[in-house]
Amino acid sequence: MIAIAETASGKSHRDENFPVASFLISPERRAPVLAFYNFVRAADDISDHATLSPLEKLVLLDRLEAALLGEGPDEPVARALRETLADRGVAAQHALDLLTAFRRDVTKLRYDDWDDLIDYCRYSAMPVGRYVLDVHGEDAARSWGPNDALCAALQIINHLQDCGKDYRELNRVYLPQDCLARHGAGVEMLAGERSPPELRAAIAELAGKTRLLLAQSREFSGRIRDLRLAMEVGAIQSLAETLVEKLSVADPLCDKVHAGKAQFALIGTAGAAAVLMRRILERGRSR
């Protein structure tokens, strides 16, 4: 059996579509966030590995979970996160939920409807934000609702951006089957060089539903006490809103639907600055 370290793709947090532990996160909290990211990156690399069989992937994911819980052979990324969780007093459940999502990536290649997709996001995306909030000591009752909406939106944006690649390379289709059927589209269209009108209509519908999630998360930054984290959330919200508008009109099979580095920096900075300005004005009014 291949070692977990041998499945590494070489990707880092700097390769992600949205900020991960950027300079906005305070230095004392960046390390715990990166420990979580590195664990998740290892699990993601296992589930996406090009040559491993489904059974081999599941065995490695089980091994990663056992190492996290201190019940199996040592794995450096699991040990680092286990020690971080103990030091910060944060439960392992967020990481365990993500492992559930990665197992689902191995065993479930199609999603029936929007609710089915959101249930996947419950495990694949929402725990990431919840963990970051826990590390910052934020109030779950105030912050988890908008966090979940934003994290689900980010996940679905990634699915829409990479729908052709996911189908061609992994035979995964996250676009709900009922949405495709409603517009007369089939999964085989994802193998084409450009989307036919039926597929474009389905993607536009999903972009519209994602826009509604982002409307629910727009208040998120205002519910976060930590200013630096609030600014990071503001940057992510702005990037997501820009990308979902692009996806509502562009074709992810042939158009550029990822933000370039310059656009990434410009939009993210504007979003973070808007949060900072609101905080300054709020403090001024409260005096």
Instruction: Return phi, psi of residue 92, to 5°.
Output: -80, -5
pTM: 0.92
CATH of the domain at 189: 1.10.600.10
Residue 281's pLDDT is 81
Are 115 and 246 within one domain? yes
CA distance 273 to 270: 5
Domain boundary, last residue among 54, 87, 107? 107
Domain boundary, last residue among 91, 107, 123? 107
Are 157 and 56 within one domain? no
Instruction: Tell me if 238 is assigned to some domain.
Output: yes
Query: Which range marks the domain in which residue 201 is found?
Result: 109-277
Residue 23's pLDDT is 66
Average pLDDT by stretches of 10, the chain with 287 residues: 77 55 80 94 95 96 96 92 95 97 97 98 97 95 97 97 96 98 98 97 98 97 94 94 95 90 82 87 72
Residue 8's pLDDT is 81
Are 220 and 133 within one domain? yes
- CB of 259 closer than 8 Å to CB of 17: yes
Residue 12's pLDDT is 53
Q: Collapsing DSSP states into helix, strand and coil, what is residue 113? A: coil
Number of compact structural domains in the chain: 2
Instruction: Tell me if 156 is assigned to some domain.
Output: yes
State CA 116 to chain mean position distance.
17
